[in-house]
Amino acid sequence: MNCRVVVEAAVPVYDVETADEAVRIAISKTGEMLNPDLNYVEINMGERSCPHCGEELEPAFIAADESLVALELEITVFNVEREEHAARIARKEIGQRLENIPLEVLEIEVIDDEDDDADADEDEESESSSDDEPEESADDGGDGPTDSSGAPDDEAGDDEVLPEFEELIDES
């Protein structure tokens, strides 16, 4: 089973004046910490709301030119047993690179494996059909024609050899 996990991170940013500036710096700082190892993690602004009135708030809280920015980090975890397993893997992978930054799992979504299942079915069908039927050697420009002993016929194969490799063939 594959899962998409969204983790919220509280990223501290220093010497900022506006919420937009804090968010830009937090995204940049987080990207530097995650790259190059986790360059597939998607970084987005977090969504915050007032717990009392439900009003939408800025993703950055600023006090005394310091800010705490809410970011959402999205990662896809493959071949997990359960959703809890996916959450643990996501927190571990991201947490190892974001030292001293608190993380909380916001969302776990199971990804449909329809495309993977269709590919697996096609692979199984092609394997079963190739096992049932004997393989025929078709002359499609591969090794060239063979003589009666089964060895490649060098004269007929010379037309198919790239020019720079002709010298190597002639030497042997």
Distance CA 114, CA 123 (A): 14
What CATH number is attached to the domain comprising 16? 3.30.70
Distance CA 133, CA 127 (A): 10
Per the domain annotation, does 35 fall within a domain? yes
Taking 50 as the threshold, does the pLDDT of residue 127 lie above it? no
Domain that holds residue 71: 2-113
pLDDT at 135: 47
Taking 70 as the threshold, does the pLDDT of residue 166 lie above it? no
Closest by Cα among 51, 53, 56, 67 to 19: 67
Per residue in 99-117, pLDDT (tens digit) is: 899 999 999 999 976 555 5
Q: How many domains does the chain have?
A: 1
Per the domain annotation, does 162 fall within a domain? no
pLDDT at 89: 94
Per the domain annotation, does 15 fall within a domain? yes
Q: At residue 117, what is the residue type?
A: D
Per the domain annotation, does 26 fall within a domain? yes
Average pLDDT over all residues of the chain: 77
Q: What is the pTM of this model?
A: 0.63
Q: At which residue do the structure tokens 């007032």 appear?
A: 50
